[in-house]
Structure 1
């Protein structure tokens, strides 16, 4: 009798657990046919992804076989022609939890993964995704399916973007991959030098490695706003750059102009308001020859002038800004929690 009851109980438990398999069907075609091999290194401390509830059933989100096999099969199925690059996808974390509310649930996904090109001297960093996503049962009852799709979309975006990016010049041994973010940070000249090189930096990588475009001199208009960089007959708009350094002071280009970049023991950061990074009506802000037009005279419009013009700087100093870090691996903003929300 006890055996029968145990069997029935075991069957009930199994029936209450279901699996949502991650559907790796989105295209990750390498249109330049540059990749020869595709390797996955799964260094996640926990290989289990997580689960959410659907009615009374627990639904686990999982790869069909294993992360490394499924992701490698995904690439080779999509890409029949080969190039000469040895591509490496490093999985650092994929985690799903469910936050149960009184009348609904929110599925929360955290995903961190990076790409490298393996060469004779080691692994060269290419790109990274360190992101989070949420899905509410108020929007869809199929939390597991939606979260599974988000995993696929994030990984596909990481892989496809990596095809076009230039690998970093620093090669890392495989033993340092687990700490690659720290190791690479220690190599960046912009975080160590006391004297910055004046000029324009067209990409985040050139900025963090402290390599301005050679020969360009920054020009300002009558209001003291940096407008462009000039080298002979060649002119580059400030608005087309990632950052620039003028009189030894670094500035980050943002949608409404530019702001000063600061440095502390953690890295680089800027002080901005949400509407400066994400203006609701960006059509009112345009760069004309690298200068800012459309908002000059308003509080936001003084941003571009603030670093050079003393009166504008005083006006903007009264604005409540928030520290936003610059990710040394991607150049992206690392937004603090509740960024831009009022209490």
Structure 2
């Protein structure tokens, strides 16, 4: 009788557990054919990803084989013709969890992964993803399926951006990969220099490695607003650059103009509002013409905002800005919690 009861309980437990297999099916073709080989270094604390509920069943998210095999199969499927470099994918964390509320639940998928080019002197950083994606059961009951698709999209974006990324000149050894972020940040002069080099910086890499575009000077309009970068006969709108340093003050170019960059012990950050970093298509705050037109705002506050009418300036002064960190390894914004809800 005990054996029959044990068998029934085991059967119930098996049927109550299901799996959601990650489908790595999106194209990750490298049109430049740069890489001859692809290596996966799995530094996750656990090979288990996690589970969420579907009705009364527990659904485990799993790889078809394992992370190493599946990512390699995916890469080689879309890249049969290869070049000379070795691409390395570093898996730092893939974790699925669920937060249960009174009438619904929220599935959360955490992903942290990076890419490198492996050379004779070590690993040269390319790009990284450090994201948290959530899905509510109020939107869909299929939490595992939905988050599995988002996992595929996240790694698709990581690999495609890695193909285009500029490799860092500072190598790290294999033993340093677990702490590569700290090691690379320690090499960035701009995070510790007393004075910054005047000029314009085309992208985040040139800015954080403190290498302005050679030969360019900054041009302002009659009101003192920076509008262009000039190199002989060549003139470029300031909006075509990632950042610039003018009169010793660094500024970050944003969709509606530019704002001052500040520095503390954590790194570099700006003070901005959601409407400035992610303006709606019908927002009165825009950057237009050959650069920044019609200054509205206060240069005392080191802010230049271009707008169609004065209502934009009133709106800006009425809303408190948030500290938004600039990620030195990607140039992206690290947004504070609930920033997009403001």
Task: Say whether the fold is shared (TM-score over 0.5).
Answer: yes
Displacement of 1:90 after TM fit?
A: 0.5
CA distance, structure 1, for counterparts of residue 256 and residue 39 of structure 2: 41
In the alignment, what sits opposite 2:179? 179
1:288 lines up with 2:289 in the alignment: yes
- Kindly state the Cα deviation for residue 272 of structure 1 after the two structures are TM-superposed: 1.1
Cross-structure match for 2:224: 224
Query: Which residue in the other structure is 1:248 paired with?
Result: 248
Q: Under a length normalisation based on structure 1, what TM-score does the superposition of the two structures give? A: 0.92
Q: 1:171-198 deviations in whole A, cap 9, x for unaligned? A: 1100000000000000001101101000
Q: Secondary structure at the match of 2:94?
A: strand
Distance 1:195 1:317 in 2: 30
Size of the aligned set, in residue pairs, is 333
Q: Deviations over 1:284-331 (max 9, x none)?
A: 4133222234xx4xxxx326784289xxxx997775221111011111
User: Residue 196 of structure 1 aligns with which residue?
Assistant: 196
On the 8 A contact 1:225/1:305 being kept in 2, the answer is: no
Q: Deviations over 1:75-114 (max 9, x none)?
A: 1111110101100001111111111222222111111111
Task: Give the 3-state SS of the residue equivalent to 2:293 in structure 1.
Answer: strand
| In structure 2, distance between residues paired with 1:304 and 1:35 | 48
Q: Residue in 2 aligned with 1:266?
A: 266
Deviation at 1:143, TM superposition (A): 1.0
Which 4+ residue blocks in structure 1 deviate beyond 6 angstroms? 314-318
Matched, 1:133 2:133: yes
Q: Does structure 2 conserve the Cα–Cα contact (< 8 Å) formed by 1:256 and 1:303?
A: no
CA contact (8 A) 2:260 2:303 kept: no
> Structure 1, residues 236-281: CA drift from partner, whole Å, max 9, x if none?
2100000000011100001110000000000000111221112223
RMSD over equivalenced CA pairs, Å = 2.0
Instruction: Indicate the residue corresponding to 1:109 in structure 2.
Output: 109
Matches within 5 A, 1:1-343: 1-281=1-281, 284=284, 285-293=286-294, 296=295, 301-302=296-297, 306-307=301-302, 320-339=320-339, 341=341
The 1:38/1:232 distance shift into structure 2, 3 A limit, reads same
Q: Which runs of 5+ in 2 are unaligned?
A: 305-312
Deviations 1:25-71 (A, max 9, x none): 11111111111000011101122111011111100001111101110
